[in-house]
Amino acid sequence: MKILITGGAGFIGGNFVSYMIDKYPTYEIYNLDALTYAGDLAKHEAIRNYKNYHFIKENIVNRAAIYSLFQQERFDCVVHFAAESHVDRSIEDPEVFTRTNVLGTQVLLDAANDIGIKKFIHISTDEVYGDLELDSNTLFTETTPIQPSSPYSASKASSDLLVHSYYRTYHLPVNITRCSNNYGPYQHAEKLIPLTISKVLNKQKIPVYGDGKNVRDWLHVYDHCAAVDLVLHEGVNGEVYNIGGNNEKSNIDIVSSIIEMLDGSLDLIEYVTDRLGHDRRYAIDSSKISKLGWKPMYKFNTGLEKTIDWYVRNQNFFKEKVNENGNV
């Protein structure tokens, strides 16, 4: 089995590359990544010289290069993680989000469709559904209407629609997965959990947006990798699968837990101006993928403790990503 993993130098894609190399030593794994600010190959140091691991530095928007790679390698499957992923950056500079997330996805779809593929998995996000009321019990299901709030989530929703259209029009064997907020090793320091850990380790103020009561559902990245693996092997073509951790937490609870676990005596919380268009609550129903046989294995407190421990032991990871003022 020859698998192309796009965005394999990023956080989730990078963990997925390692997971697949460990679990399937007979698979050929191709990691294609543009190595933007969010990419980092240090995480693959241990597998760099494996015969079944191949790295290609390329941008998914480069149609000629992508076509030539597909023609040369004749992949069986594509697992497409490559994306601009940070909501705050999309508010500052939306264009690259459309270019990479929409046009880049289209290039991959065209190459897969023209040259042939057995499975195309598009990794998407629960953010395409928009947001929920804080005090409701409502959950996003796969049939919840798409109503994105940020330029980031609009670009992901647009690419989801394109992927679906290639299934309907050309019968391309696709799946779309929509995950909740991931945490775990190797996440970029711009995201809430690593950012908070880095700030606490350096005794710097932690910017909490708005009133800090926004709620996210937290999923350990290893649980996410297992879910994508399952969809790759068992997913029904054309279907969307939600993947959530069943762990709803407010941002202020997350930040307070991290401070408590590292040094409860510190007073570092700083409420700052809210994110524009800030979604209030995400909560996701994963019962469809659980029927395929998946459930999250990580309990949030254990997962968070292990994650904090990993960042404490690997503080070098922050070095190139955070300046001396603690800013990304």
Ligand X SMILES: Cc1cn([C@H]2C[C@H](O)[C@@H](COP(=O)(O)OP(=O)(O)O[C@H]3O[C@H](CO)[C@@H](O)[C@H](O)[C@H]3O)O2)c(=O)[nH]c1=O
Q: Is 142 a catalytic residue?
A: no
Q: How many residues bind ligand X (CB under 6 A)?
A: 19
User: How would DSSP label each residue in 139-156?
Assistant: -B-TTSPP---SHHHHHH
CA distance 160 to 236: 16
Instruction: Give the nearest distance from C-beta 202 to ligand X in angstroms.
Output: 14
Q: Is 234 a catalytic residue?
A: no
Helix ranges, the chain (H): 11-23, 63-73, 87-92, 95-97, 105-115, 151-170, 192-201, 221-234, 251-263, 287-290, 300-313, 316-319
Nearer to ligand X, 15 or 181 (CB): 181
Out of 126, 160, 223, 248, the only residue in the binding site for ligand X (CB under 6 A) is 126
Instruction: Give the nearest distance from C-beta 315 to ligand X in angstroms.
Output: 19
> x/- binding map, residues 76-115, to ligand X, per CB under 6 A?
---------xxx----------------------------
Instruction: Give the nearest distance from C-beta 198 to ligand X in angstroms.
Output: 11
Nearer to ligand X, 107 or 215 (CB): 215
Q: Is 127 a catalytic residue?
A: yes
DSSP letter at 127 equals G
The sign of the CA dihedral 137, 138, 141, 146 is negative
Does 16 bind ligand X (CB under 6 A)? Our answer is no
Which is the catalytic residue, given 40, 84, 127, 160? 127
Sites for ligand X among residues 41-80 (CB under 6 A): none
Sites for ligand X among residues 250-309 (CB under 6 A): 251, 275, 282
Instruction: Give the nearest distance from C-beta 169 to ligand X in angstroms.
Output: 26
Nearer to ligand X, 75 or 153 (CB): 153
Does 187 bind ligand X (CB under 6 A)? Our answer is no
CA distance 121 to 172: 11
For residue 222 the two structure tokens come to: 């290893």
The sign of the CA dihedral 59, 64, 67, 70 is negative
Which is the catalytic residue, given 30, 129, 152, 298? 152
The sign of the CA dihedral 151, 210, 180, 221 is positive
Closest CA to 226 of 165, 126, 127, 296: 296
The catalytic residue positions are: 126-127, 152
Binding residues (CB under 6 A) for ligand X: these are 85-87, 125-127, 180-181, 191-192, 195, 207-209, 214, 216, 251, 275, 282
